[in-house]
Structure 1
Amino acid sequence: MDMSTPAKKMKLVMVGNGMAGVRALEELLKLAPDLYEVTVFGAEPHPNYNRILLSPVLAGEQTVDDIVLNPLDWYSENNITLHVGQKVVKIDRNARAVETEDGMRVGYDRLLLATGSNPFILPVPGADLPGVIGFRDIADVDAMVQASSQYQHAVVIGGGLLGLEAANGLMKRGMQVSVVHIGPWLMERQLDEPAARLLQKSLEEKGMKFLLQKQTAELVRGESGRVCAIKFKDGDSAPADLVVMAVGIRPNTELAESSGLHCNRGIVVNDTMQTFDPRIYSVGECAAHRGIAYGLVAPLFEQAKVVANHLAQHGISRYQGSVTSTKLKVTGIDLFSAGDFMGGEGTESILYSDPIGGVYKKLVIRDNKLVGGVMYGDTVDGAWYFSLLRDGKNINELRDHLMFGQDHCGNLGHSGINKAASMTDDMEVCGCNGVCKGDIVKAIREKGLFTLEDVRKHTKASGSCGSCTGLVEQILAVTVGGDYSATPKTKSMCGCTEHTHEEVRAAIRQNKLLTIPQVQEFMQWSTPNGCASCRTALNYYLISTWPGEAEDDPQSRFINERAHANIQKDGTYSVIPRMWGGNTTPSELRRIATVAEKYNIPTVHVTGGQRIDLLGVKKADLPKVWADLDMPSGHA
Structure 2
Amino acid sequence: MAKEKLVMIGNGMAGVRAIEEIIKIDPNRYDITIFGKEPHPNYNRIQLSTVLQGDTTVEDIILNDWKWYEDNRIKLFTGEAIVEVDTKNKIVVSNNARQVSYDKLIFATGSSPFIVPVEGVDKQGITGFRDINDCETMIKYAEDHQNAVVIGGGLLGLEAAKGLKNLGMKVSVVHLMSHLMERQLDATAAEMLKQELQQQGINFLMEKQTVEILGDDHVTGLRFKDGSETEADLIVMAVGIVPNKELASNASIPVNRGIVVNDYMETEIEGIYAIGECAEHRGIAYGLVAPLYEQAKVLAKRMVGVETEPYEGSISGTQLKVAGIDLYSAGEIEGDGATKAIRVHNEFENVYKKVLIRDNKVVGSVLYGETAESTRLFRMLTQQEDVSQMTSLSILQPAGEAEESDVASMPDDELVCGCNGVTKGTIVEAIHAQNLTTVSEVGGCTNAGRSCGRCKPMISQILEHTLGDSFDGAAQKEAVCGCTTLSRDEVVAEIKEKGLTNIREVMNVLGWKNEEGCSKCRPALNYYLGMIYADYKDERESRLVNEKMHANIQKDGTYSVIPRMYGGVTSAEDLKKLADVATKYNVPLVKLTGGQRIGLYGIKKEDLTSIWEELDMPSGYAYGKTLRTVKTCVGQRFCRYGTQDSMGLGMELEKKFERLDTPHKFKMGVSACPRNCAESGIKDIGIVGIDGGWEIYVAGNGGTDLRAGDLLYTVKTKEEVIEVSSAFLQYYRETGNYLERTSKWVERLGLDHIKKVLEDKVACQGLIERLNKTLERYNEPWKEAIENDEIKDKYYSRYQADLVTN
TM-score tier by shorter-chain length is: 0.7 to 0.9
The answer to whether the aligner puts 1:450 opposite 2:436 as a matched pair is yes
Q: CA deviation at 1:216?
A: 0.3
Q: 2: distance between equivalents of 1:556 and 1:372?
A: 48
* Cα distance change on mapping 1:192 and 1:559 into 2, 3 Å: farther
The answer to whether the aligner puts 1:13 opposite 2:7 as a matched pair is yes
Cα deviation per residue 1:291-343 (whole Å; 9 max; x = unaligned)? Answer: 11111111100000000101111133310111121111323211111111211
* Equivalent position of 1:631 in the other structure: none
Identity between Structure 1 and Structure 2 (%): 45
* Cα distance change on mapping 1:558 and 1:149 into 2, 3 Å: same
Contact 1:48 1:70 in 2 (8 A): yes
2:204 maps to amino acid: F
Contact 1:298 1:324 in 2 (8 A): yes
* Cα distance change on mapping 1:90 and 1:285 into 2, 3 Å: same
1:203 maps to amino acid: L
**Partner residue of 2:71 out of 77, 82, 85:** 77
* Equivalent position of 1:583 in the other structure: none
Q: CA deviation at 1:422?
A: 3.4
* Cα distance change on mapping 1:475 and 1:320 into 2, 3 Å: same
The answer to whether the aligner puts 1:368 opposite 2:354 as a matched pair is no
* Equivalent position of 1:421 in the other structure: 408
> Could you say what secondary structure the match of 1:295 adopts?
coil
Cα deviation per residue 1:23-69 (whole Å; 9 max; x = unaligned)? Answer: 00111111111110000010111100000100010111100000000
* Equivalent position of 1:472 in the other structure: 459
Q: 2: distance between equivalents of 1:296 and 1:324?
A: 7
Contact 2:372 2:457 in 1 (8 A): no
* Cα distance change on mapping 1:426 and 1:50 into 2, 3 Å: farther
The answer to whether the aligner puts 1:300 opposite 2:292 as a matched pair is yes
Q: CA deviation at 1:430?
A: 4.5
Q: CA deviation at 1:95?
A: 1.0
* Equivalent position of 1:531 in the other structure: 662
* Equivalent position of 1:213 in the other structure: 207
Q: CA deviation at 1:17?
A: 0.4
Contact 2:93 2:100 in 1 (8 A): yes
Contact 2:167 2:703 in 1 (8 A): no
Contact 1:450 1:480 in 2 (8 A): no
Q: 1: distance between equivalents of 2:246 and 2:101?
A: 20
Cα deviation per residue 1:122-160 (whole Å; 9 max; x = unaligned)? Answer: 001121211100000000000000011111110000000
Which structure 2 residues correspond to residues 422-571 of structure 1 after superposition, within 5 A? 422-425=409-412, 429-430=416-417, 435-441=422-428, 443-444=430-431, 448=434, 450-452=436-438, 454-463=441-450, 468-469=455-456, 471-476=458-463, 478-479=465-466, 495=488, 498=491, 520=531, 529-532=660-663, 557=685, 571=705
> Could you say what secondary structure the match of 2:189 adopts?
helix
* Cα distance change on mapping 1:259 and 1:521 into 2, 3 Å: closer
Contact 1:440 1:459 in 2 (8 A): yes
> Could you say what secondary structure the match of 1:178 adopts?
strand
Q: CA deviation at 1:434?
A: 5.8
- Give 5+ residue unaligned stretches, structure 1: 1-6, 504-516, 537-553, 578-618, 620-636
The answer to whether the aligner puts 1:323 opposite 2:315 as a matched pair is yes
2:374 maps to amino acid: G
* Equivalent position of 2:558 in the other structure: none
Contact 1:450 1:484 in 2 (8 A): no
Q: CA deviation at 1:488?
A: 5.3
Q: TM-score by structure 2 length?
A: 0.61
Q: 2: distance between equivalents of 1:166 and 1:186?
A: 14
The answer to whether the aligner puts 1:38 opposite 2:25 as a matched pair is no
Deviates more, 1:465-474 or 1:20-29: 465-474
* Equivalent position of 2:117 in the other structure: 123
* Equivalent position of 1:196 in the other structure: 190
* Cα distance change on mapping 1:13 and 1:441 into 2, 3 Å: farther
* Equivalent position of 2:799 in the other structure: none
> Could you say what secondary structure the match of 1:260 adopts?
coil
**Partner residue of 2:172 out of 171, 178, 185:** 178
Q: 1: distance between equivalents of 2:17 and 2:69?
A: 13
**Partner residue of 2:269 out of 277, 280, 286:** 277
Q: TM-score by structure 1 length?
A: 0.76
Q: 2: distance between equivalents of 1:131 and 1:387?
A: 43
Cα deviation per residue 1:535-586 (whole Å; 9 max; x = unaligned)? Answer: 99xxxxxxxxxxxxxxxxx986379976689659963466999xxxxxxxxx
Q: 2: distance between equivalents of 1:534 and 1:101?
A: 36
Q: CA deviation at 1:373?
A: 1.3
Q: 2: distance between equivalents of 1:326 and 1:489?
A: 26
1:375 maps to amino acid: L
Q: CA deviation at 1:189?
A: 0.3
* Cα distance change on mapping 1:406 and 1:98 into 2, 3 Å: farther
* Equivalent position of 2:802 in the other structure: none
Q: 1: distance between equivalents of 2:12 and 2:152?
A: 24
Q: 1: distance between equivalents of 2:413 and 2:464?
A: 18
* Cα distance change on mapping 1:491 and 1:105 into 2, 3 Å: closer
Cα deviation per residue 1:483-534 (whole Å; 9 max; x = unaligned)? Answer: 989895799999488558xx9xxxxxxxxxxxxx999457999989453479
* Cα distance change on mapping 1:405 and 1:142 into 2, 3 Å: same
* Cα distance change on mapping 1:442 and 1:282 into 2, 3 Å: farther
Q: RMSD of aligned C-alpha atoms? A: 3.7
* Equivalent position of 2:560 in the other structure: none
Q: CA deviation at 1:108?
A: 1.0
* Equivalent position of 1:359 in the other structure: 351
The answer to whether the aligner puts 1:349 opposite 2:335 as a matched pair is no
Which structure 2 residues correspond to residues 136-151 of structure 1 after superposition, within 5 A? 136-151=130-145
> Could you say what secondary structure the match of 1:285 adopts?
helix
1:557 maps to amino acid: I
Q: CA deviation at 1:456?
A: 2.6
* Cα distance change on mapping 1:147 and 1:275 into 2, 3 Å: same
Q: 1: distance between equivalents of 2:436 and 2:394?
A: 35
1:150 maps to amino acid: D
Cα deviation per residue 1:428-460 (whole Å; 9 max; x = unaligned)? Answer: 545665644355346557x64535455333323
* Equivalent position of 2:597 in the other structure: none
Cα deviation per residue 1:263-303 (whole Å; 9 max; x = unaligned)? Answer: 11111111111000121111101111111111111110000
Q: 2: distance between equivalents of 1:283 and 1:16?
A: 10
* Equivalent position of 2:376 in the other structure: 384
Q: 2: distance between equivalents of 1:524 and 1:462?
A: 39
Contact 1:532 1:556 in 2 (8 A): no
Contact 2:128 2:236 in 1 (8 A): yes
- Give 5+ residue unaligned stretches, structure 2: 481-486, 497-527, 539-658, 668-681, 689-694, 712-742, 744-806
Q: 2: distance between equivalents of 1:228 and 1:49?
A: 33
* Cα distance change on mapping 1:344 and 1:147 into 2, 3 Å: same
Q: 1: distance between equivalents of 2:235 and 2:86?
A: 39
Q: 1: distance between equivalents of 2:312 and 2:479?
A: 48
* Equivalent position of 1:93 in the other structure: 87
Count, aligned residues = 534
Contact 1:496 1:525 in 2 (8 A): no
Q: CA deviation at 1:391?
A: 1.3
Cα deviation per residue 1:154-203 (whole Å; 9 max; x = unaligned)? Answer: 00000000000000000011111000000010000000000100000011
Q: 2: distance between equivalents of 1:292 and 1:312?
A: 26
Q: CA deviation at 1:363?
A: 1.2
